[in-house]
Structure 1
């Protein structure tokens, strides 16, 4: 089999074989691949622009492989874009995100439960700080059941020249769209600072949300993100977001 590497992350490598993309999980429990396939299938069945899931299988050495439709596309935002192109890309992202949020996510993991699990596992905050964040999280829970992607940013939207595709559904939940938007805002804030305000303005206009209602989730979202593979500077900035609000 002729495999071409097309992506690599902390826990998986993605290769291409013809019209199939294969996500090869590394030292990861089998349920992780099965869970991601289930979330992606949920979004696909809802009629969203999502690559089709083809198969999940265990390889000879025990690692899991998720086979899916290969999308020959580029990320929504790429280096070299001018101001107008970037603004149009953010507008497209917001339209797609709000389309996702209109889907009923009942049956997927609960967003609040997932965030609480992530905050409890954080080792960079003291017990009192985590208790405060968990209390705020529980009090802010609206019981919403909207489909939320969980990591909606430009690198997870591919454009094949005709159509935009949404990928990487492993963190999909049923929950509050404002939480999902706050996560997107935080990613922009960390890596595309000049675009963060544009994104927030466009999202609020499209969804009818209030800016402060989105930003109210920032401490909890930043805390949950501390678990991820970040450098010390990125982690320090997240802690600053937590303390400042």
Structure 2
């Protein structure tokens, strides 16, 4: 995916990797949730979102992300009944096919965006090849591969990599909630699984004698390079 459109200038500073928890902590914070999508009888089938196939029980995994406090200029977040802006939002991955909410990604990454910017980005996402054909729960859903690429553009790869991590999700309000299908770690090799503690320096191997260097190099070329998850 190549960025071919302007994105909002102001991003969510709380999602910068330097300020975010370690990958392992974000993975542990994920939860499973369930919601029932329903509309009034007269509204069924009046739009894509209200088609019978897009209604009913929706199981999903979610990861809470912090929002800035000063959202007075936001066109996509408004004050609640307590006259305060929301303090957090959720990145979501639905359980039936593992697709990720691109709508949620945009709101989390660009909380200061205006409504017209959100609409323009939604239209852009809808035209991508790996986007689900139907909106569900008011969200546009994209394949995990595409979500990682979009996360790079949005500057939130660490958070999406945690959402996609194949480790079992142990938090949820119902043991019967279905988890999303596991996602291959090999596709997340971009350094997102990292620790906040300093890495230990690896001891450099001693240089082999000149007469054995060629045979050592030959053995080394036969080794298999492993990919670190990101």
Above 0.5 in TM-score? no
- What is the TM-score with the length of structure 1 in the denominator? 0.26
- What is the TM-score with the length of structure 2 in the denominator? 0.28
